[in-house]
Chain A
Amino acid sequence: MSMLQLKYDIPGDDFTRAGEASGDVKQKLKKLGYNPAAIRRVAIAMYEGEINVVIHGGGGEAVVDVDPDKVSILLIDHGPGIADVEKAMQEGWSTAPDNVRSLGFGAGMGLPNMKKYSDEMEIDSVVGKGTKLKLVVYAQSSKA
């Protein structure tokens, strides 16, 4: 059992609400007196995950477990899945549609940023079924 579990529904195709879940997690971690550098890494990694669920997953959910030493974020969608995870991890590789790009997304930096800002990352994706993404951020980490 984690110290605190937070659950969020992430609506699909609604960019105006993307960031609400990660924003809420950020506020709660601040109130808990979490390490500011870790809070920033959680916020960015989770927002990138949320955006992916909105753009590619058609919506989904987020479950965040907060412990004194780490924050674990699980993002689940039932979208098309990632056909080539290795490619998706490359900076600049993106399948985002044009309307998303015009909003400033689709730079192909989502998964690379999640990797950059998290201490552990696991992708479990099945084409046609969906994607489960787990991110862990340690409260104390050598990552900036």
Chain B
Amino acid sequence: MKKLILFIPLAIFLVMGVLLYRGLFLNPQKLDSVLEGQPVPSFELQRLENADELLNNTNIQGQVSLLNVWATWCPSCKYEHPFLMRLAKQNILPIYGINYRDERDAAIKELATEGNPYVLNLFDNKGRLGLDLGVYGAPESFLVDHKGIIRFRFAGPIDNRAWTETLFPMVKQLQAEAREANRL
């Protein structure tokens, strides 16, 4: 009995060790989004290409879509851009852009030279919609279902692996849900 007691510190050490070791491999950037399951926050923003055209939630609703937060000042967005271009060509789902805290001219120029994967671009220069979406850095993407509910949030640039392993399976599932709802 007494010898067992002597092993208690070792046991505590082992438990702590395992917990802390596991902690090394957690990604601190991966935060739960509170908005998953919530509708896209209501907004009224100018279209990036045209200051006179006001867009709101109805403009981006109706089908499963990808909301992508981007900006010209964001290096990871440049890394992500070629993938978005390829994705747009595949016509799987519409990609809506949120041009986040950016300058209009720079953004328009970037899309003209690098290509435009977005169906529509919202000009969120004040970061108001970004704030309501709980965005803390670009790029960030949201999978939105046919009813306009945010179903998944992806922080960081989407690449081939993230798409095939995480996002595409969810897109397929959401699209199946949408078809089911349409049939009824």
Say whether A and B bind each other.
Answer: no
Chain B positions near chain A (C-beta within 8 angstroms): none
Chain A positions near chain B (C-beta within 8 angstroms): none
